[in-house]
Structure formats: C-alpha cells, structure tokens
A and B are shown apart, each in its own frame.
Chain A
C-alpha cells in the first residue's frame, strides 16, 4: 500500500525567507503526486501536481516542487515567503482507480508559521 510521510509537523519561517517542505512517499509504480494547502477551517486548495515529464513543477502562489525518484521525494519550495502563506500543507500520492478518479493517500501535514 502506498504511504506518504511529511517529517516536519511544524515549521516557522521569517517573512521573506525561503521555505522547503519535505515529502517522502512509498509507492510501487510511478506516482501521481500533489501538494495541497489548507487555511484554518477551510477545505484544501491544490498548489501543484506531478504526473510525468519535467521533474520540476511550477504551481500557484509562487510555489514549486521537485520530484526525485531516487529519493522517493516530492519537496515543496518557495523562494520568499509571504505572511499569507501561513497555513497547513499536505502532500498526497494518488492511486489510479479504474474507470474514474483516483484514490489519494495524504501525509500528516506540515503547519507553517510565518514570523514578521
């Protein structure tokens, strides 16, 4: 069965500093990988996704992620954090289901705090 690990439960960064969130996955085939962001009391918003091709993926809000097959990682990065980036971030791996949709397995999430 697939699994996703986000080793950092909390990260605190200063506004304007760079941010990197770690994600490691376990999956037997080529994974579909996603990063989502959740503001308090809200649903999840898709930041970016990787299916194939270029291993550096650009997303919304200035985020990017790099797929490294040899390390089973899909780390999320942002060069300069804004106060509005304070949220919880989830990495997920998708398992293809026949006929429709996919079944996502989520990591435990990383909560990001931004210091002024």
Chain B
C-alpha cells in the first residue's frame, strides 16, 4: 500500500544536539511538507518542497533545516538553535493535480522530547 512513513515514532534530544526526522513516501507525490503540532495550536508549517532540490520556508522555519535530494524523501533536522523543540512533527505530501487542489496525505508523526 502507498503511504507516508515517518521514523522514529519517538525521539529524544539532548541539549546542543541536532536530530533528524525521517519522512519517506511512495505515493509518487511531488510536494512534501513538514508541520509542527503543539497542544491547542493546530498545525504550523515548518518547510515545504514542491520539487526535488527545491524547498521553501514555512511559517516557523527558524531552528530547522531540510533537504530534498530524492522525490521520495524529505528529512527534517531539528538543530540546537531550536530552543523549544518538544512537539509532535507531521510530514505530508500531495500531488499537483488539476488546479493543485489535491489534499495532503499525512504520516503518523514523530514525537520529539528533550532529555
């Protein structure tokens, strides 16, 4: 079955450490997205990528970095510059479709906590 795989499901970060969250999709989607979810705040967009080797900042990109070397993969690095990284991180993807009105499909998320 096609879908989006996020790993690991749980991740712990030490002070000053960078950590990388994995997101892989086999839906053949061009666009991929990273969101951060905090209680009561809905989802906020961190980064998105419309095509391989290209990506744009979302609303809360500070302290995060991404790469898009392959169509299937869009890893997110939470750097030590992100002072409040504890959150639930969701990866999504979508296909352009006609008029780019296709819905986004989501992975099951990674919960990041600080040690």
Q: Which residues of A contact B (CB under 8 A)?
A: 4, 9, 32, 34, 36, 41-46, 49, 51, 90, 94, 96-97, 99-109
Contact = CB atoms under 8 A, between A and B. Distances in A.
Interface of B: 4, 6, 30-31, 33, 35, 40-45, 48, 50-51, 58, 90, 92, 94-96, 99-109, 111
A46 B103 CA distance: 8
Given A102-B101, A109-B40, A109-B42, A97 B106 contact: no
B45 A101 contact: no
Given A44-B106, A90-B43, A99 B99 contact: no
Contacts of B92: 44
30 contacts: A4-B42, A34-B103, A36-B106, A41-B109, A41-B111, A42-B109, A43-B4, A44-B43, A44-B90, A44-B92, A45-B106, A46-B104, A90-B43, A96-B100, A97-B31, A97-B48, A97-B50, A97-B100, A99-B50, A99-B51, A100-B51, A101-B30, A101-B31, A101-B96, A101-B102, A101-B104, A102-B94, A103-B48, A104-B45, A108-B40
B100 A42 contact: no
Contacts of B51: 99-100
Q: Is the interface of A mostly helix, strand, loop or mixed?
A: strand
B40 A43 contact: no
